[in-house]
Amino acid sequence: MPTPLPLQTVVAHTGRVTVARRQQLLHQRPVTVWLTGLSGAGKSTLAYEMEQRLHDQGLSSFVLDGDNLRHNLNRDLGFTPEERQENIRRVAEVAALMNDAGLIVFTALISPCLADRAMARSIIGSARFIEVHVSTALKVCEDRDPKGLYNKARSGLIPMFTGISAPYEPPDEPHIRVDAGQCSVSEAAAQILDYLQQQSVLA
């Protein structure tokens, strides 16, 4: 692998189009809505529902889905704690860039560790970071098991599987907590939409 250049030799450049100008152009405040929860909790379903709702309102958003990113940007990463942390770091950096472009971003990742989510918040910036705990119970997620992962984890075929053989650390004080086992996708999306409106994210 080539040796990276020393950081002091890399000079950052700044254009004349500011985030504030992009915000005016798009009529929205760029934020990252970070959805965290167990596998099968409903994070991706909810993220894409939100993307559709904002699109229908003429607003610009994008979903960074953890599974999708592991097919491209993060395909070189496994699931050790260190690799999970790097996965989160990369997603947070991309989300921050998309926020700089004026977009509202929805991330859908298990992101099981408090420290890793705190890192994501520091990269994106607290003013732009909205943490949503999709708090669907383990039993509900396991009963759904849309990808058959829990069965494989119970059989020992998937080591370090969150909720079974690896821990999940729920947020202490998320901005929003939705239980997709107790409410519909539409109801959960409405709850997030209400919060975004209260925070003046939407025009």
Considering the entire predicted model, what is its pTM? 0.92
For residue 162, what pLDDT is reported? 93
Please write the tens of the pLDDT for every residue from 10-56.
788 888 899 899 999 999 999 999 999 999 999 999 999 999 999 99
Residue 4, burial from CB neighbour count under 10 angstroms (0-12, 13-18, 19+): exposed
For residue 147, what pLDDT is reported? 85
For residue 5, what pLDDT is reported? 62
| Residue 111: active-site member | yes
What is the band of 1 on the pLDDT scale with cuts at 50, 70, 90? low
DSSP category for residue 42: S
Domains of the chain listed by start with CATH number = 21-198 (3.40.50.300)
* Helix orientation angle between 43-56 and 185-198, rounded to the nearest 10 degrees: 60
- The larger pLDDT score, comparing residue 156 to residue 8, is at 156
Catalytic residue chosen out of the listed positions 39, 61, 111, 135: 111
Assess whether pLDDT exceeds 80 at residue 4: no
Residue 3, burial from CB neighbour count under 10 angstroms (0-12, 13-18, 19+): exposed
Please write the tens of the pLDDT for every residue from 99-151.
999 999 999 999 999 999 999 999 999 999 999 999 999 999 999 888 899 99
The arithmetic mean of pLDDT across residues 58-79, rounded, is: 94
Q: Beta-carbon neighbour count of residue 85 at 10 Å?
A: 16
